[in-house]
Amino acid sequence: MILRRKAISRRTLLRGAGAAIALPLLDAMVPAATATEATVASAARLKRLSFTYIPMGFNPAEWTPAGETLADLPSSLQPLEAVKQQVCVLSGMELRNAYPGSHATSNSAFLSAARAKRTESSDYCNGTTVDQIAARRLGKQTQLPSLELAMDQLTNIGQCDNGYACVYQNNLSWSSPTTPLPSEANPRAVFEMLFGAGGSSAQRRAALQRRASLLDTVTHEMRRLRSRLGPSDQHKIDEYFQSIRDVEQRVARAEANVDENPLPDLDRPIGAPASYADHARLMFDLQRLAFQGDMTRVVSFQLAREASTRTYPEIGVPEPHHPTTHHGKNPEKLAKVAKINRFHVSLFAEFLESLAATPEAEGTLLDHSLLLYGSGMGDPDAHDHSNLPVLVAGGASGGLRGGRHIRYRDQTPLANLHLTLLNKAGLEMGSFGDSDGPADGLFEPLTL
């Protein structure tokens, strides 16, 4: 039998007035005449890397699992219960080049594993970060080489921490040792970066008034495409577009409902939801959509910044985060650090669950993505950079065996983990930063 069905290109875009929408991976994108097991396996193993940063360390007593499995999750990790079989907790990792201990170097070394030049001026120097090394290869195949997200839009001018320029504290990603990449905290700007409507703020708002929804501009082309698809692909398209519409509407509601406050809130950009949790969820949803539409395969996200004085009264921590972490072993302060850890983990867990609920090829978005979550600081009271809180999630299609707590006996360079993730993403590197080899024990050999 001769199969003549022509596959839809993975790079297909639906185009409308000022909009271009990428599509999720569809069955119709695998050529009918070449859909062998190897082809399906290749399509399924799309390479994605995500890096989420949390500041100011953790309370290890409420984070570290007692055994080698995740059967009984400690308090700070309990939100991961639904996805724990796709999560590994790593203990005993260190950022040697972050010393002498500081908030600035915790952030700057987390993805670079490099020693930042101590300067308060513009002659800063760090190291190319792991996400940007991945983006040089993976980014050639996508609309955006990488996506840099944050919760706080801050200036890079001046010094912020003990003689270190603010640029170290406020930028996770560096495309070269002297080129920090600014992060975007405004959901509207991220949405339009992904789905169109460029120009100035006034031009974008005028465009929004001219059209009710981004998706309305591509309705005709969407209908034409659906007519070429089978029932399974039609369902995927409908779910994906509904997700885009939901996020679009949430961004619009957030802009319309920003609380009026006589005092400026410098930590929250205009257009973001008033609630920290809602803002974070929206940023995670945008990351999911970017992955689902294959608009980028590399994302970094600063879930909160170092030395942040943000308060979390919604979880019973009305005191500023940074002073609370200088706990002096005070049980009450340590308990509050653990609450903040749990809160941040809960937002990441929701993101993992959304990836796990999104089918793709022979699995889910979570199966085909590798996600690192952690901090560049261990004990925040001592500004220590050993025994870091680190999680790795997803990666089932690459052989990650979750549900485990991996203890490294000696303090192991975090760069070893970065090297392992890069190699699993197909970069085949021999070293990264101060690595002395790959991180052992995470992955099993793959068989086709």
Residues 69 and 84 in one domain: yes
Residues 158 and 212 in one domain: no
The three-class DSSP label of residue 423 is helix
CATH code for the domain of 92: 3.40.720
Tell whether 412 is covered by a domain. Answer: yes
Residue 266 belongs to what domain range?
1-44+186-271
User: What are 113-150's pLDDT values in tens digits?
Assistant: 999 999 988 899 999 999 999 999 998 878 889 999 99
Residues 444 and 317 in one domain: yes
User: What are 382-424's pLDDT values in tens digits?
Assistant: 999 999 999 999 999 999 999 999 999 889 999 999 999 999 9
Residues 323 and 428 in one domain: yes
Residues 434 and 335 in one domain: yes
Residues 337 and 384 in one domain: yes
Tell whether 279 is covered by a domain. Answer: no
The three-class DSSP label of residue 404 is strand
- Give the total residue count for the chain: 448
**Using CA atoms, how far apart are residues 362 and 156, in angstroms rounded to an integer?**
43
Tell whether 381 is covered by a domain. Answer: yes
User: What are 190-230's pLDDT values in tens digits?
Assistant: 988 887 654 555 555 555 454 456 667 677 777 777 777 88
Residues 159 and 263 in one domain: no
CB 127 within 8 A of CB 114: yes
Higher pLDDT, 223 or 3: 223
Residues contacting residue 179 through CB under 8 Å, at least 6 positions apart: none
Domain count, the chain: 2
**Using CA atoms, how far apart are residues 84 and 396, in angstroms rounded to an integer?**
12
Tell whether 285 is covered by a domain. Answer: no
Spatial CA neighbour of 56 closest among 307, 333, 309, 336: 307
DSSP letter string, 307-321 = T----BGGGTB-S-H
Residues 431 and 326 in one domain: yes
The per-residue b/e assignment along 371-386, b for 16 or more CB within 10 angstroms, e otherwise, is bbbbbbbbbbbebbbb
CB 171 within 8 A of CB 181: yes
Spatial CA neighbour of 201 closest among 183, 186, 217, 181: 186
Residue with tokens 């089978």: 230
Q: Is the dihedral of CA 98, 414, 108, 350 positive or negative?
A: negative
Residue 254 identity (one-letter amino acid): A
pLDDT score at 409:
84
* pLDDT, mean of residues 348-365: 94
Task: Using the 3D structure, point to which of 271, 293, 319 is the last residue of a domain.
Answer: 271
Tell whether 284 is covered by a domain. Answer: no
Tell whether 163 is covered by a domain. Answer: yes
Tell whether 281 is covered by a domain. Answer: no
Q: Is 38 exposed, middle or buried (0-12, 13-18, 19+ CB in 10 A)?
A: exposed
Task: Using the 3D structure, point to which of 250, 271, 292 is the last residue of a domain.
Answer: 271
Task: Using the 3D structure, point to which of 251, 271, 291 is the last residue of a domain.
Answer: 271
First to last CA, the chain: 25
**Using CA atoms, how far apart are residues 123 and 310, in angstroms rounded to an integer?**
30
Residues 168 and 306 in one domain: yes
Residues 438 and 308 in one domain: yes
User: What are 6-63's pLDDT values in tens digits?
Assistant: 556 655 666 555 556 667 767 666 654 444 444 334 434 657 999 999 999 999 999 9
Residues 322 and 380 in one domain: yes
User: What are 56-101's pLDDT values in tens digits?
Assistant: 999 999 999 999 999 999 999 999 999 999 999 999 999 999 998 8
Tell whether 390 is covered by a domain. Answer: yes
Residues 26 and 151 in one domain: no
